[in-house]
Amino acid sequence: MVGNEARKKEQAEKSFDGLTYFVYRSLLDAKIQNAEVVSRKIRHAFTEFPNWKRSENALRELRKKVTFAIFAETDDLDRVTALVDALFTLLEKADRI
């Protein structure tokens, strides 16, 4: 329970919604530099493409923006691609729950 309280506190301190915090933690776990800034850029991309779950084109554009946001902090494209794939796989699984 302590871990969950700490998570909620950190999330509130950063004014992150659930999605942004999930992305932020994923970026930290992947040791991406400037995870907070990148998370906010990614959150903005999600607001630009609210229909990403229903539109292949929106999903493609969103993935591109997420990829470029992360790629700006690391030049390892294979690593970025794997991270983006993992993020979207987890988001799709969470959406089915």
What does the pLDDT look like over 54-97, one tens digit per residue? 999 999 999 999 999 999 999 899 999 999 999 999 988 887 75
Which domain covers residue 47, as residue numbers?
2-96
Three-class SS state of 76: coil
Quote the pLDDT of residue 54.
94
Quote the pLDDT of residue 1.
53
75 Cβ partners below 8 Å, 6+ apart? none
Quote the number of domains for the chain.
Answer: 1
Structure-token pair, residue 13: 């301190």
pTM of the shown model? 0.87
Q: Rounded to an integer, what distance in angstroms lies between the CA atom of residue 54 and that of residue 58?
A: 8
Do the Cβ atoms of 82 and 90 come closer than 8 Å?
A: no
